[in-house]
Every structure is written in C-alpha cells, then in structure tokens.
Chains A and B, each alone.
Chain A
Amino acid sequence: QVQLVQSGAEVKKPGASVKVSCKASGYTFTSYYMHWVRQAPGQGLEWMGIINPSGGSTSYAQKFQGRVTMTRDTSTSTVYMELSSLRSEDTAVYYCARDLGEQQLVLGWFDPWGQGTLVTVSS
C-alpha cells in the first residue's frame, strides 16, 4: 500500500535550520508530485510547497520563499524539506502529502499524508 514515513521530532534553537525527511513506498516514486504542509499547534493547515520527484523541480509558497528548500533522493524514494532561519512561529507539525495526479499531473488533491513531524523552535 502507498505509505509515507517521516523522520522523528526535532527541537531547534531560533536561527537554526531543520531538515525533515519523507520516505515513500508502495508506488512509483517519480510519477507523483509531493507537497509539504504544516500545522501550528491548535491551528489550521498551511501549504508550503511542492517538489517533482522526477526532475527535482520545486515551487514554494511566497511566504516561505528564501527559507525553504525541498529536495529528493530517487535512490531511496525520499523527499526532504529544509527550513532555515527558524523562529518560534515555525513550531508546527510538518507533513508531506502525495499529489493524486498520475504521470506528473498536479491536481492539488493530497493523499496520502505522512504521519507528521513535530518541529519545536525554542531557546
């Protein structure tokens, strides 16, 4: 079955960077785009950006431009999201989520999702 497994929780100091991984299995990794979405404690969902696992091209939400980098490793079917210059407002659960569009079509329908990675930013 399609599964996305994310790395474990992280605690970072303000100004540091964090890199979260998302390992995919159960489907052809390079055929589906991957999104990153975050959720601050008790808050709603916020789309951060998308990566094409085939060619590695990316597109980021304007809010995160310059601070986020999404990469992939096709040999391990893993995508990564790195967020730099962390501040307390970045404390959130970060999710990867596969786009449902086949053959590299972006539909913006997110399914499935990873289990989430809690990133805590605190001095």
Chain B
Amino acid sequence: DIQMTQSPSSLSASVGDRVTITCRASQSISSYLNWYQQKPGKAPKLLIYAASSLQSGVPSRFSGSGSGTDFTLTISSLQPEDFATYYCQQSYSTLAFTFGPGTKVDIK
C-alpha cells in the first residue's frame, strides 16, 4: 500500500494566519491527492480533489498544490470555523485508498 505522511501533526495558529500543511506519499501518485476537513464528532468533508481542484461550496481561502510525492494544503487567512483536523488521501492506487495521519489545527 502507498503510505501517506503529514507534517506537522499539529499546529497552533491565530485567526487571519496563513497556514500550510504538507503531505508526502511513499511513491509518486501524480495528482491523485485529496484533502478532507474533520471537526470533532463530525464526518470528514471533502475540500480539495485532484491535488488542486476546489470542491463545490468550499471557500476560496483553501487551496492545494503539488504533484508526484509532495503536496500542500494552504489556508490563506484562517477563520474560526477552520479549526479542525485535516487529512490527505491518495486515490492513485484504486481500491487501496489510504489516508494520512492527520494534522490538527487549533487556536493559538
């Protein structure tokens, strides 16, 4: 299986900060990388698919970039509702999908 890692595992930030989360795959996955946001007690929500495409209804302050093995999720100006855990997920290996361990974003 393709292994996914994320850094940092957690971060503290303030409202208005620019936040960047990194995801790395154990092998090249082209642009088959997706990002999800999960708030406590809730189901995950798709933010970004195919590395850089914004899912419908997701605010434009979220953006994704990267290809191959290295990817980033950027929140341009952190809002109160953005405090959550973020997961990357590879969809390159069809029928063997894997997620990163998550990055928790909390209030500084």
A residues in contact (CB < 8 Å) with B: 35, 44-47, 50, 59, 61-62, 95, 97, 100, 106-116
- Contact yes or no, A100 B49, CB < 8 A: yes
**A45-B89, A116-B43 known; A108-B100 Cβ under 8 A:** no
User: Please, which residues of chain B bring their CB within 8 A of the CB of A46?
Assistant: 99
Per-position 1/0 for B40-75, Cβ under 8 A of A: 000111100110000100000000000000000000
Chain A residues whose C-beta falls within 8 Å of the C-beta of B91 in the assembled complex: 107-109
Q: Is the CB of B55 within 8 A of A111?
A: yes
Q: Could you list some 13 contacts between A and B, CB below 8 A?
A: A35-B97, A45-B102, A47-B96, A62-B96, A95-B44, A97-B44, A100-B49, A108-B34, A108-B91, A108-B94, A109-B50, A110-B89, A115-B43
Total B residues in contact with A, Cβ cutoff 8 Å: 23
Say yes or no: A106 contacts B43, CB within 8 Å. Answer: no
Give B3-42 as 1s and 0s: 1 = Cβ < 8 Å from A's Cβ atoms. Answer: 0000000000000000000000000000010101000000
- Name the residue of chain B whose CB is nearest to the CB of A111: B46
| Partner-A contacts on B (CB < 8 A) | 32, 34, 36, 43-46, 49-50, 55, 87, 89-91, 94-102
A47-B99, A108-B32 given; A113·B45 CB < 8 A: yes
B100 adjacent to A59 (CB under 8 Å): no
Cβ 8 A contact of A109, one of B46, B87, B95, B100: B46
Q: Which residues of B contact A44 (CB under 8 A)?
A: 87, 99-102
Nearest residue in A to B93 (C-beta to C-beta)?
A108
Residue of A nearest to B43 (CB): A113
